[in-house]
Amino acid sequence: MWNNIENMILYEDKEIIVCHKAAGIAVQSARIGMPDMESTLKNYLVAKNPGKMPYLGVVHRLDQPVEGVLVFAKNKKAAAGLTGQITSGSVTKEYLAVTAQKVEKVQGHLEDYLKKDGKTNTSSVVSAGTPGAKKALLSYEVLEEVTDKITGKPKWLLK
C-alpha cells in the first residue's frame, strides 16, 4: 500500500499535520496488524522526537475506501480549535466523486437522515424520526462528463 508516511505529508507545523490518505487505509485502527493513518503518524512523530509520547488529535475522518486529505492536530489546543471550526461550519468539506449513473439535475441539494450500525460499521438512510439518526446535507454540482478510458462509457464528475 504505502511505505513512507513522509511522502503522504502535505504540510506540517507545530500545530497540525495535513496528509494524503490513500484509498483502502483506515484513519484509525480497524483491525490489529492493519495499517492506519493515526498509528503511522504517531510512529512518525515518535521517530522525530524519541522518548516523547506525541499527541495526535483526529478531528475528522474519511471512510476507508475514500482517498483524500486529512488534518490532524498535534496538540489539544489545535484539536479544540479545528473541532470548533468544523462544528460551527466555518470549515467545509468538499468531495469530488465520479458516478456511472447520469445525474438528472446539474446542481442539487440532498437532505437525508443517516443511522450508523456499529456492528457492521455502515450507515443507512432512515426516516427523520428514527432514534439515533443524524441529519445529512449534501449540495452537489456536476462539473463535467468524462469518458471511461477502459469501457468507453460516459461518467460524470461531481463536486
How many CB atoms neighbour CB 59 within 10 A? Answer: 19
* Catalytic residue ranges: 63
How many CB atoms neighbour CB 78 within 10 A? Answer: 20
Which of 158, 118, 117, 116 is CA-nearest to residue 138? 158
Q: Are 42 and 80 in contact (CB under 8 A)?
A: no
**C-alpha cell of residue 14:** 507545530
**C-alpha cell of residue 118:** 456499529
**C-alpha cell of residue 117:** 450500525
